[in-house]
Amino acid sequence: MQRPSGIGAFQFVILASLRATQLMRGCIPRIEGAHKNTVIAQLEVSQGKVRQEFDAPGDELDEVAALVAAAHLPAVAVDA
C-alpha cells in the first residue's frame, strides 16, 4: 500500500486509525470491497478519499488530548 506524497508514515497511521474508528462507529465506507475496517481506512487514505483538516491553529492538540483520554494513556505536556 502506497502512502500519498506529502504524508509521512506516522501521519498516515494516525489518519487511518481515526478513519477506522469512524467506520467502526457506522460511517459509510468510500470504497467498495469486503475488507476489514482497518484495511478500508488505509485504502481510503492511500487513495486520497480521506484527508486531514485543521479548522484553526491548536485544534490538532485538542484531537491528540482526546485520543490520549480515550486510550487512558498518561497525558504529556506540549509546549506550543
Give the model's pLDDT for residue 50.
82
Closest-CA residue to 2 (of 33, 45, 41, 31): 45
Per the domain annotation, does 47 fall within a domain? yes
Model confidence at 24, pLDDT cuts 50, 70, 90, reads very high
Closest-CA residue to 45 (of 76, 73, 9): 9
Per the domain annotation, does 14 fall within a domain? yes
Residue indicated by cell numbers 480515550: 70
Q: Locate 54 and state its grid cell.
A: 485543521
How many domains are there within the chain? 1
Is pLDDT at 42 greater than 90 in this prediction?
yes
Domain housing 32: 9-71
DSSP annotation of 47 reads T
Query: Per the confidence metrics, is the pTM higher than 0.75?
Result: no
Length of the chain: 80
Is pLDDT at 41 greater than 80 in this prediction?
yes
Closest-CA residue to 44 (of 24, 16, 64): 16
